[in-house]
Copies of this chain bind each other. A is one copy, B any other.
Amino acid sequence: MQSINPNYENKSKTVRDVAYYVEGLHAGNRFILSECITLVESRSPSKRKIAKEILEKIKTPTSTIRIGITGTPGVGKSTFIEAFGMYLIQQGHRPSVLAIDPSSQSNMGSILGDKTRMQFLSTNENAYVRPTATGNILGGTAAYTKEAIQLCEAAGFDIIIVETVGVGQSETEVDFITDINLLLLQPGAGDDIQGIKRGIMENADIFVINKADGPQLQLAKQTKISYQTAIQLFHHDTDGWSCPVILASSTEKMGFDIIWKAIEDYKQLILKSGNFYTNRTEQEVRWFSMRSSALLQQLVFNQSDVKQFFEHFADAIRHEKISGSSALTEMELIFKKIIQN
């Protein structure tokens, strides 16, 4: 086993032993953290095996807070997270940013841009910025991101920000890995401007009207009132929490105190009710259940004949050559052949 230098970067792509990774994480080494997340995201069975062992061995503190931040492209998410992240560092925190972009495939194309844009945050030694590869991950993005969160926490990051683009399914999934969710909006209302799918609202605990500065400040104030009215029509079921709508400006560093206070208030509320821990253990059970199901699907559907049959039938249904029911009967025969009683 190698001796651990907190700033040592393993440039070679060799896979080391588990203790190397675990010690590196506990020492807060960001390069080793990166390597571990890569292992978690890997499709190679041998690398996944090591990832699993790492996850089993690390100590993850429960005093952290996991914040989901969602908003459509153009709302200023990266700029906001960079400024808010720097604010958190000034308050003595160590924030970590995990970005989920379902549109980016495993080459992580569109999100690496974010990392470059968060130039202060990503180069600050008290922060860690990382895109998550989400292209077609079996078993859901949430399960893998949950693992990345645990790795970040083991490496001493106390605030985990999970960023999603607010246009797909991942926002509802993210609800199963975060403690609290922020929705970023921009001044101006209406679907053409915001482009938000209605369901995204459900997961938000705090609404932030970003870019509330300069000539847009007045419009931002109006938008705040519109959303406050709209929010009253919906039901938030956690401990009687009433969702605040907060004005913020990344350029003028405005609103961060209020946002952070709202996050802390919410955390106190769910800590007091016990929902914080219940939520986390239930998330862990849900992760176990999701990953067990995914694993079973994987073990069976990755058998090339099963896969081919399934795709053949799905296609036949699309072209109305077979009914769904008949296709299912065929699949049942295939399953029964490979499962032992």
- Interfacial residues, chain A to chain B (CB-CB below 8 A): 52, 55-56, 147, 172, 189-191, 194-199, 201-203, 226-227, 229-230, 232-237, 281-282, 284-285, 287-289, 291-293, 295-297, 299-300, 303, 310, 313-314, 317-318, 320, 323-329, 331-332, 335-341
A112 CB, nearest partner CB in chain B, Å: 28
Whether A285 pairs with B318 at a CB distance below 8 angstroms is yes
Residue in contact with A314 in the complex, picked from B232, B289, B331, CB distance below 8 Å: B289
In the assembled complex, which residues on chain B have CB atoms less than 8 Å from the CB atom of A335?
295-296, 299
Instruction: With both chains docked as a complex, state the minimum distance between the C-beta of A269 and any C-beta of chain B, in angstroms.
Output: 17
Given the contacts A198-B235, A234-B201, A341-B303, A314 and B332 also touching, CB distance less than 8 Å: no
* Pair B325/A191 contact, Cβ less than 8 Å: no
Contact residues of A: prevailing secondary structure: helix
Return the 8 tightest CB-CB contacts between A and B, nearest first: A199-B202, A198-B234, A191-B235, A55-B325, A198-B202, A230-B230, A288-B324, A284-B324
Q: How many angstroms from the CA of A317 to the CA of B313 in the assembled complex?
A: 38
Nearest chain B CB to A234's CB is how many angstroms away?
A: 4
CB pair B235 A226 closer than 8 Å? no
Q: Contact between B232 and A191 (Cβ–Cβ < 8 Å)?
A: yes
Bound Cα distance A99, B173 (Å): 28
How many Å lie between the Cα of A60 and that of B292 in the bound state? Answer: 37
What residues of chain B lie closer than 8 Å to A55, measured between beta carbons? 323, 325
Query: Which residues does chain B contribute within 8 Å of A191, judged by CB atoms?
Result: 232-236
Nearest chain B CB to A299 CB, angstrom units: 6
| A285 close to B237 (CB less than 8 A) | no
Enumerate chain B residues within 8 angstroms of A297, measured Cβ to Cβ.
293, 296
Known contacts A229-B226, A233-B189, A340-B338; A292 and B198 CB within 8 A of each other: no
- In the bound complex, residues from chain B placing their C-beta under 8 Å from that of A147 are 325
Q: Which residue of B lies closest to A291 (CB)?
A: B328
Which residues from B are CB-within-8-Å of A303?
341
Q: Which residues of B contact A295 (CB under 8 A)?
A: 328, 331-332, 335
